[in-house]
Structure formats: C-alpha cells, structure tokens
Amino acid sequence: MQIGIDSFAATETTNTLNGKQNAISIQKLLERIRRADEVGLDVFGVGEHHREEFLDSAPHVILSAAAPQTKNIILTSAVTVLSAADPVRVFQNYATLDLISNGRAEIVAGRGSFTEAFELFGYKMEQYDELFEEKLELLIEIQKNEKVTWRGNHRPTLNNQYIYPRPLQDPLPIWVGVGGTPQSFLRAGNLGLPLMIAVIGGETHRFKPLVDMYREAGRRAGHSAEKLKVGLHSLGYVAETSEQAVEDYFPGYAKTFTRIGKERGWPPVTLERFKAQNGPTGALMIGNPEEIAKKILAHSRALGGISRFTFQMDNAELSHRQLLKAIKTIGEKVAPYVRDNE
C-alpha cells in the first residue's frame, strides 16, 4: 500500500492577501514535500481551490517547483477540478510535470468539493455531471493518443490535432477522485481507472457497497483487477500520543469546519461529534502511530483492500513544525507498520 500526504496549500496568515506571507507559506509547503520524500513516503498530492484561504489554484506549478527538490515521491493533483478546466491544458501541464520529475506525475481528476471554479470560469452548476463526463472522456483520449479527433458540447472540436508534449510515462496515470455518488463509482469502473475516495466524515466502511459496485463494473467492462485500484483520502494527523494528537488537531479543525459548515448548512463542530468520527470505524485519522496504522489496515479490510492511503492535515491550523514532525512520524512509523502487516 502506498502511503502519502495531500495538501490544500492553506495560507498561514489571517491577512490572506499578504503576498510576502503567502510566499513564505509556499516555501514551507515545498519543505514539507521534501520531508515526505526524505522519509520514504510514496506520494504527495496538492489540491485545487479558488478561495482566499488556499494557495493551490495552480497545483501543477507547485508540484513542478517540488520536482527538482525531490527524488522518488509521486507528485499528483488532489484533485484537478476537471469540470471547470480544459482537458488539453490539464494534460499538457501534467505531461510537462512528468518530464520535469522524470516520470513521477499523476492526475487525480474530480469535480472538487467547492463550487467557485464553475462561476469563475463561466460554467453552469446545473451541468455539473455533464461537464465532468465529457471532459474526462477527452482527457482519456489525449492520454491514449498523440493525435486526437474529438467532438463535444463544451469545447471546440479537435480534428486530427496533435497534443504535445507527451509525458515520460506511457500512459500518464489518471485516477478519478470521488465523493459518494454511485454514478461516479460506476463511471470509474466502466473506464477502468483507479479510484481515489475522499472520506472526510462518517464511517469509512459505508463506502464498501460503492467500492464493490466499482469493481464489478470494471470486471464486466473487461478490465483487470490490477487496473481497478482503490485509494483513500482522509483527514488525519499523527502525534506521539493520541491525547496529544487530538489536543493539537481539534481546535483548528473545529474552527475550519464550523466556518465551512455555515456555507453548507452543517451543524457546528463539537468535541463529542469529533470523537465519534475519530473512533475505530470513523473516517478521522487522528492518533498515535500504531493506532493510526492499525486503523488504515482496518479500513483497507473493510473496503476489500486499498492500494493507497493519503493524509490531509493542513486544514486544522497546525503549525509548520507540527506538520513536519507528523510527516516524519508517518514516514518512519506509520508507513512501515502498514507495509509489514498488510
């Protein structure tokens, strides 16, 4: 199982328009990517948002800056908001990253958990699913073919157009990032694409019927089991003790998700609800190294086996020092335990 980190490149200042402070935040993120590589983690993902509190509107640029500073770690989007992007440019950006990183780039294509990109780039929310399906179709066509002929409803027609540059990897890996809609799981299975499931609350095992649906759809479409990989992205943080982990993580988590909850109609975060979701079957992965390693293995068994697990840590106002230490602990204690016991 691959173990990694996902980041949304959160700002580290209340004055989010402070360019100097944001530059420092980006440099700290690059240091965290270097640390993840140094301690032997397998993958580092950068999300895509178009909000004031995040600096990841161009994740491929951040990953390209990290590429020459790292040696082995996979550099991926987490996720690329494909519905509001041009698949040609997405492919070109990540093919270029693949060349810069000597074959370590990946794309996780999804629709994103926020909606700002639709209005920003002139798309209609009521075409949410139609946009993604069409653009994923084109992205896969470009992945497979240097010369592309294609016609759709949301992009100019391509007639025997050559798409350059081509990546070092053949093919450039494309995963599908999903939340919880059955249609998304079925689509990924029919296409034979690996699946990255974002689980930010509730109980992880509730996704098992959807994972089974994905694998069965892939099997019926003639795809091998090796192609039908499942990854899991969860909110997480590791400290020396479980008590310390909760003490470090909860205040910032509560602040962040209470703020987001006001936008989405969620109830305010309470410690009681937090602890319930941080229990043995809950989606939150906050605890000591052995506890979290065992929980990753339990989640993998509950879903019939997973190929990748990534921690999303920088949404709880943790300090750079805390994040660096957690990454080191995950690389030196959590990942080896998982690999030795899966």
Percentage of the chain surpassing pLDDT 90? 86
- Can you tell me the distance from the alpha carbon of 115 to that of 196, in angstroms, rounded to the nearest whole number? 19
Mean pLDDT per segment of 10 residues, for the chain of length 342 residues? 96 80 95 98 97 94 98 98 96 98 98 85 88 97 98 96 98 96 96 96 95 98 96 98 97 90 83 93 97 98 98 93 98 98 94
What tokens were used for 152?
A: 């759709």
- Tell which CATH classification among 3.20.20.30, 3.40.640.10, 1.10.101.10, 2.40.30.10 matches the domain 2-341: 3.20.20.30
Note the pLDDT tens digit of each residue in 19-55.
Answer: 999 999 999 999 999 999 999 999 999 999 999 989 9
Note the pLDDT tens digit of each residue in 131-154.
Answer: 999 999 999 999 999 999 999 999
In the chain, where the domains are located: 2-341
CB 259 within 8 A of CB 316: no
Which pLDDT does position 261 carry in this prediction?
83
338: exposed, middle or buried (Cβ count in 10 Å: 0-12, 13-18, 19+): buried
Which pLDDT does position 85 carry in this prediction?
96
160: left (phi over 0), alpha (psi -120 to 50) or beta: left
